[in-house]
Copies of this chain bind each other. A is one copy, B any other.
Amino acid sequence: MWSRCNKEFPQVADDEREQGRTFLPKFDANGLLTAVVVDHETKDVLMVAFMDREALNATLRTGEAHFHSRSRGRLWKKGETSGNVLRVKEIGVDCDQDAIVLRAVPAGPSCHTGARSCFYRRIESGELVSAES
């Protein structure tokens, strides 16, 4: 199919990626795409992580969020130790398919610090303050 030929028709492939119905995830030079997790109910951003193809497939297959740990260099199921898994209800895909949004139901705190969201601070006058204040 000419419209799928990345090498010879890169522009067509870009159009297909942006407008088509085919899921063509675009991994970066390190084989990763960005995954933003939002709370399905409150819409709060809970965490940001990265997925390689293995993590993406594991997420699609199981319905629970899996990521690629850049520090540990391996597949990482969110909640594998803590039990705080993320049950994925819906996956949004961006225009060039290099980022996805997981709308998920968290089984517990999403942050390893015990916070509900990793974004528990915000910048105010150059300093970090509690996001709740």
User: Does residue A47 face the partner (Cβ distance < 8 Å to B)?
Assistant: yes
CB nearest neighbor in B for A28: B70
Cα distance A15–B67 when bound, in Å?
Answer: 23
CB nearest neighbor in B for A19: B113
How many Å from the CB of A25 to the closest CB on chain B? 10
Number of interface residues of A (CB under 8 A): 41
B115 touches A95 (CB 8 A): yes
Cα distance A28–B50 when bound, in Å?
Answer: 13
Instruction: Give 25 CB contacts A-B under 8 Å.
Output: A21-B127, A21-B129, A22-B128, A23-B123, A34-B48, A36-B36, A42-B43, A43-B44, A45-B92, A45-B101, A60-B123, A90-B123, A92-B121, A92-B122, A92-B131, A93-B121, A93-B122, A93-B128, A94-B111, A94-B118, A95-B111, A95-B113, A95-B118, A95-B120, A101-B119
A-to-B contact residues, CB < 8 Å: 18-23, 28, 34, 36, 38, 42-45, 47-48, 60, 70, 90-95, 99, 101, 111-113, 115, 118-123, 126-129, 131
